[in-house]
Amino acid sequence: MAYGLISLEKRLKENIKYYSLENLYDLDEIQRLFCSLCEALGTELLLTERHGEKVVCVGDFSGFEPDVVSDPGRKIRVADRTIGHLYAKLNQQAAGQTAEAVLDNVVELYSSLGEKQYRFRETAIYADELEEALEKDRYQAKHGEHVDALTGLLSRPSFDSRLKELAETGTAPDALICVNINDWKFVNENYGDEESDRLIKTVAGILKQEAKPEYVMGRVDGDVFYVVIEVPEDGEAEAYCRRVREACRAYEDAILAPSVAIGMVNRASVEEDFTALFSEAEYEMFRDKFDEKNMPGYRERLEKGLQR
């Protein structure tokens, strides 16, 4: 879900469920504070995540399994949701109103600090994404509907219009190429819109990098690209497809592992219809997709970002 598509107010209400304690606090600092409280008050302290996973422990809590439903301890709440639980063991001397008040103040302090940090982070991310969306709008306004704002390639209407022009000029032969990103949906589901958009931009960049200036190129669907090479030299189209494929495989990134399926057909005569031939190219692309996704090491490379 892109940040600019929903209001900041709604994000602040909903996104806290994706945060853990380490996203909002310096856990080493909490450890030092707990040690100081333990020394001053004789109090053993345990901090857990919202579901009871132990995060910071000072004292002996061996054998203690937090039950955040029946015995939630002191709840640390951010954006009207519980983000953590504080459990305390007070010795006889410390078991007084002062120690209880100190612990209540600690919970109140961390609830307040977490709220401020959460709002700061979400607002900053929202502002960055909104600025990116505005940049796309400005780009689209400058170039009109002819160019796809994300990739800089021809938009689908402009590409179709260009095909109509090519059909009228009567050039042949032509090489028609269909390129589809493998497992774009996997990237979107596991890393989000920002990374899946970056994958589209990366593949589009490779397509442009390996192409000659006269190649006609368009993003015709979310993760689908068409390329037309007019009157190619012998082997030119095949070499282009090979370079694109190799550049994707060689791309180094901590998360993205671009891979493409490519289908190509030749338009031998000006009588042949571009639309029908691109349907054939798509068929060839789907055949290629099976081979690409079953290559040794493909799955491991695709999922490398999940191991971070």
Regarding predicted confidence, which is higher, 126 or 118?
Answer: 118
Would you say the C-alpha torsion 98, 101, 103, 106 has a positive or negative sign? negative
Percent of the chain with pLDDT over 70: 93
Regarding predicted confidence, which is higher, 146 or 72?
Answer: 72
Name 49's Cβ contacts closer than 8 Å, sequence gap at least 6: 20, 21, 55, 83, 84, 85
**Predicted confidence band of residue 69 (pLDDT cuts 50, 70, 90):** very high
Is the preceding omega at residue 173 within 30 degrees of 0, hence cis? Answer: yes
Taking only the tens place, the pLDDT of each residue in 232-274 is 999 999 999 999 999 999 999 999 999 999 999 999 999 999 9
Cβ burial of 272 (10 Å; 0-12, 13-18, 19+) is middle
List the structure tokens of 158.
């402009």
Domains of the chain: residue spans and CATH:
3-123 (3.30.450), 147-307 (3.30.70.270)
Taking only the tens place, the pLDDT of each residue in 76-97 is 999 999 999 999 998 765 556 7
